[in-house]
Structure 1
Amino acid sequence: MALLAVLSGCSQAPLRPGTAHLFAQPERAPASIPDPVLGTPVLPPPVAAPRLETYTVVVRNVPVQELLFALARDGELDVDVHPGVSGSVTLKAVDQTLPQLLARIAKQADLRYEMDGQTLSVMRDTPHLRVYRVDYVNLSRDARSVANLATQVSGATGGAASGGTAGAAQNNSTAVINTQSANRFWDTLVANVRDMLRDTDRGPASTAAAATQSEAATRESSSVIANAEAGVLSVRATARQHEKVQEFLDLVLSNAKRQVLIEATIAEVQLNNQYQRGIDWSRLRTGSSGFQVQQSSAATPAGVGTGAFVVGYATGGLNFTSAIRLLESFGDVRVLSSPKISVLNNQTAVLKVVDNLVYFTIQANTTTAANSPAVTTFSTTVNSVPVGFIMSVVPQISDSAGVLLNLRPTISRKLADIADPNPSLANPCGVGVQNCATPPISSLIPVIQTREIESVLRVQSGQIAMLGGLMQDAMTQVEDAVPGVRHLPGFGALLAQRRDSNQKTELVIFLRPTVIRDSSLQGDYAGVRDLLPGDNYFLKPNPGRTTGGAP
């Protein structure tokens, strides 16, 4: 018993998880059912909303001040009229409320009004300051993507024997796709509002001379002040201009705050013998409500480093699981990556899951001097190349939940290493030097295979787009021989067995954009709720950690 007590005292108590970790919140239990109501309560009778008083006004060339006083008298309101309010009104209105009448009068007489209880204040529509809240991040982003495919063949041709000259001829073939995206929300917003104020400036229409003078004064006094850090936009403008500014800001913020969840699955299919020509995309039909996808090498979208690939759309009944199961009928499927990323409207997002392979380039410099041995110095440069999966995407979300995508997925892998054929590395003592005491230096450079697609496509929210056709051949050589006998002349080749196998693979990319309307785990993000750790996630035993120690 004493030994058990000592051993139990040596064990380590489980660590309590910190409260700062994100956990999947338990779903709220439904509220308890209340007791049944024995008697139906008597509801109070509905109260009708007070009906606004309507007026019928028919006037022609009536001074605006007289009309305002008449309306205030009939409506039993106090009225304050600025001395600068002038002009005449021609109006016919039947059974309209006081706000409707004032809005129509303000358009003709160039005035604005305010209601403070039972007091109506009328003044000239001169520029006044109004503050708008613009909830958007203070950020300027510039994205640039270049897809370059170039081939160059050069050669030297000899001239005539008498001249003894030589010339060089080059044959170049280059295809470049340069994509640029500039997102300067605040700069563009301020510039647009200033343009609106310049185009909508209007002065009073009493006389032509007065109109021109007042219009110039209005233009000079209109201004825009933006505080991007606080998300505040202050505009000094007339009431008419403020209406246009408010309408513009509502539309801009509604479009800029749209969000889309992009789910991608990149799979590699090792094709069977009967499907060496590629995947039969016509089998992706989902009944009468589906579609037919044909694989063709003609008139494909612009791609870099691609063969023929097909872009198609699937109905909501086809998901990633069923699509991958369908691919398994053509061969062995290996899922390379399944990223998920949320992007705002017209913003550039980059997803990068790579390993940076480090390699070194060695430069040998040999210096010779008279009556002294050659001296070789070496300089090493560190280089790195990313290998893995990189995807950049720019979405544009429409009102009808259509998503226009500019995407560029890139898959890279290391194939082999090749030695740098620099003669200075093969003979560090110098080219032509015999019996060099310094052994040859090996500088290995990795060979990287890259498969990528750069395209623009349109997909409806919730549907799946498929990009395929990136095929490659791989030759595998397997040799079995008796140890020690393989290199014997004559008999070694007879006792060895060699098998060459040719494997063809095809890369397939599935994309599904989903427009986010409710950005919560109970809304459009309900599908990723299971990815969050539970309450006991940090309390589970770790097989790589000991639970006991020395007493």
Structure 2
Amino acid sequence: MLVLKKIIYLLLFVHIAVSSAYANRCDTQLFTATLNSELTISDVVENLADECGLSLLVKDSEAKKKLSEKLYFVKMNNASLNEFLDTVLLENDLSYVLGDSKLKISYLTTQTFKLHYIAGDRKGTSNAHVTIANSGASGGQGQQSGGGAQGAGQEGSDSGNGSKTGVSIESTDEFKFWSKIEQEIHALINRPEDAYTAPTPVVNAEAGMITVTGTSKQLQRVSYYIDTLHKQLKNQVLIDVKILSVTFDDSYTTGVDWNQLYSLQNMSLATASTLQNNISAFSAITDGELSIGDTTSTPNAEPKRSGAVITRGSTKINDVVKFLKTQGDVKSISNPKILTLNNQPALISVGNELFYKIQSTSLLQGGSGLGTQQTGETIDSVFAGILLDITPEISEDGTITLKINPSISDTIDTVSTTTTGSRTIPPDLSRKQISSVVTLNDGEHVVLGGLISSKSGTKISKVPLLGDLPLLEHLFKREVNVDTVDELVLIITPHIIKKDKVLSLEDLGYKKLNDEY
């Protein structure tokens, strides 16, 4: 049995029971100790160093001040040496390093944390921009860019009396990871109850390192935060998207009758409200104006037009496709599969880029104050097709929240060109957009519909061979003007990919090559 005695304060009584045969080695002993209110931290550490044969080193003046504080009351039963020091030092915001028979104590510690993430900021922009004319004293050319490290778009400005006319629709998801984490950690290590005000952490985005100086408790908070953040960032979601087009021959139809989904067996439904925009005039729309409103799911509620339907239970995608075939002619436009990190936008684009020329005029100032007018041509473009922006978020209970922004644009009339094959004016576009936020479980399907467009065309029916004979073809051929209605339907299925899971072809959605809808 070992007894630690304090020379100055006779009221101190510390009883340490050794349950190991190696009495001279403290790292193999268990301690039972009762420390009264007359004892300071320094008293306990000095006596422990004497009994265990340790060299004691106090590394900074703040640690010396902290060691002079009283412990008030501490009681430990069968504690190891590290547990003993954790209770006496770490609980009093002091750090220590024990090794080679040396005990080093400090109040401030500098620690470097590793966080593996791409350097730079990531910005995803869904942009539809049409410029009609551009003129000015010193004109600037607009630019947009999206996605990638340090990706940032900036639109050129016109000065003087210049002007730019057109339409711009933009949806932006920006993820400034490293700048935000510096601010968050600095706020985390400087709380009102902290006696020490820690400096701003040193962040090296290229090396994936964050260096923090602070007390033991401050570093513990940072360590817990980074560990939790790292787990969240490494979660991945595989998003399976099926883009289908349902064509109706009846021009008076209002689209798919989603109420008939209830006739399907083994299907449980929920709905979520969405916002739909039909763009028909020159305007500027930002994310702030695309407010989503009520996004809560309503189990067993009737689906809404232009809404989101969540299928649960044993429902398969084939069941939904078979239902759509009862409504009209179903065609598969695209079936992309994309793997993205948690809270990172996945951008899917299917369509055509239509280029056209812009006539620009600028006034160049000369040295004598006289200006010369200069004209030129620039190339711009508009996108016609389907643009889908999906951002997943995985919660602790395993549910997935999806922010879905699909947009469809199409030319209103046939795109005209000059004799040289170039376009001098942008084509007229019709645009429809839905914004929705839904919550569903891993493997469930969300069905989005309501993006309806009308088209006019000619349907030709003829007798084989005879309908192709010159002069006689009109006797054996019939042409009928047909108005059709198309509705775009999106079936989105998210899957959580665990960190230690190896993806197979089946996980990616590839099964038999002869599978048909």
Which category of TM-score, normalised to the shorter sequence, fits these structures? 0.5 to 0.7
CA contact (8 A) 2:277 2:433 kept: yes
RMSD: 4.4
Map of 1:264 onto structure 2: 241
CA 258–469 in structure 1, closer or farther in 2 if over 3 Å, else same: same
Map of 1:310 onto structure 2: 307
Q: How far 1:144 sits from its partner (Å)?
A: 4.7
- Which segments of 5 or more consecutive residues in structure 2 lack a partner in the other structure? 1-26, 130-166, 280-303, 361-374
What pairs up with 1:135-150 in 2 under 5 angstroms? 135-145=116-126
Residues of 1 paired with 2:378 and 2:207: CA distance? 47
Residues of 2 paired with 1:529 and 1:243: CA distance? 42
CA contact (8 A) 2:202 2:212 kept: yes
CA 461–305 in structure 1, closer or farther in 2 if over 3 Å, else same: farther
Residues of 2 paired with 1:385 and 1:146: CA distance? 9
Q: How far 1:385 sits from its partner (Å)?
A: 2.9
CA contact (8 A) 1:473 1:502 kept: yes
Q: How far 1:464 sits from its partner (Å)?
A: 0.6
Quick one: which of 173, 177, 188 aligns to 1:196?
A: 188
1:377-417: CA deviations, max 9, x gaps?
A: x9876553323332222222222222222222233344532
Quick one: which of 47, 56, 74 aligns to 1:80?
A: 56
Residues of 1 paired with 2:407 and 2:323: CA distance? 24
Map of 2:99 onto structure 1: 116
Identity of aligned residues (%): 21
Q: How far 1:344 sits from its partner (Å)?
A: 1.6
CA 188–473 in structure 1, closer or farther in 2 if over 3 Å, else same: closer
Residues of 2 paired with 1:275 and 1:325: CA distance? 23
What pairs up with 1:512-523 in 2 under 5 angstroms? 512-518=493-499, 522-523=502-503
CA 52–331 in structure 1, closer or farther in 2 if over 3 Å, else same: farther
Q: How far 1:265 sits from its partner (Å)?
A: 0.8
Map of 1:431 onto structure 2: none
Match status 1:352 vs 2:360:
no
Match status 1:324 vs 2:321:
yes
Residues of 1 paired with 2:226 and 2:314: CA distance? 38
CA contact (8 A) 2:408 2:451 kept: no
**Between Structure 1 and Structure 2, whose CA radius of gyration is higher?**
1
Residues of 1 paired with 2:414 and 2:358: CA distance? 13
What pairs up with 1:141-180 in 2 under 5 angstroms? 141-145=122-126, 179-180=171-172
TM-score by length of 1: 0.61
Quick one: which of 201, 207, 226 aligns to 1:224?
A: 201
Match status 1:93 vs 2:70:
no
CA contact (8 A) 1:417 1:445 kept: no
CA contact (8 A) 1:201 1:241 kept: no
Map of 1:172 onto structure 2: none
Match status 1:187 vs 2:179:
yes
Residues of 2 paired with 1:442 and 1:146: CA distance? 21
What pairs up with 1:399-438 in 2 under 5 angstroms? 399-414=396-411, 416-417=413-414
CA contact (8 A) 1:392 1:408 kept: yes
- Counterpart code for 2:39: V
Map of 2:222 onto structure 1: 245
Determine helix, strand or coil for the equivalent of 1:67: helix
CA 69–272 in structure 1, closer or farther in 2 if over 3 Å, else same: same
1:37-89: CA deviations, max 9, x gaps?
A: xxxxxxxxxxxxx9862413242221323323444566x45251539232221
Q: How far 1:121 sits from its partner (Å)?
A: 0.9
Map of 2:338 onto structure 1: 341
CA contact (8 A) 2:240 2:509 kept: no
CA 54–500 in structure 1, closer or farther in 2 if over 3 Å, else same: same
- Counterpart code for 1:95: N
* Corresponding pairs, count: 398
CA contact (8 A) 1:80 1:122 kept: yes
CA 384–240 in structure 1, closer or farther in 2 if over 3 Å, else same: closer
Q: How far 1:449 sits from its partner (Å)?
A: 4.1
Residues of 2 paired with 1:456 and 1:257: CA distance? 22
- Counterpart code for 1:197: I
Q: How far 1:229 sits from its partner (Å)?
A: 1.1
CA 112–503 in structure 1, closer or farther in 2 if over 3 Å, else same: closer
What pairs up with 1:451-530 in 2 under 5 angstroms? 451-478=432-459, 499-518=480-499, 522-523=502-503, 526-528=506-508
CA 285–243 in structure 1, closer or farther in 2 if over 3 Å, else same: same
Map of 2:381 onto structure 1: 384
Q: How far 1:472 sits from its partner (Å)?
A: 3.4
CA contact (8 A) 2:382 2:426 kept: no
Determine helix, strand or coil for the equivalent of 2:343: coil
1:94-132: CA deviations, max 9, x gaps?
A: 414143332232256543322215x3515241x222111
- Counterpart code for 1:472: S
CA 90–388 in structure 1, closer or farther in 2 if over 3 Å, else same: same
Q: How far 1:324 sits from its partner (Å)?
A: 1.7
CA 146–402 in structure 1, closer or farther in 2 if over 3 Å, else same: farther
Map of 1:169 onto structure 2: none
CA 104–524 in structure 1, closer or farther in 2 if over 3 Å, else same: farther
Map of 2:210 onto structure 1: 233
- Counterpart code for 1:400: D
CA 66–525 in structure 1, closer or farther in 2 if over 3 Å, else same: farther
Determine helix, strand or coil for the equivalent of 2:68: coil
Match status 1:64 vs 2:41:
yes
CA contact (8 A) 2:356 2:423 kept: no
CA 357–499 in structure 1, closer or farther in 2 if over 3 Å, else same: same
CA 324–61 in structure 1, closer or farther in 2 if over 3 Å, else same: same
Q: How far 1:322 sits from its partner (Å)?
A: 3.2
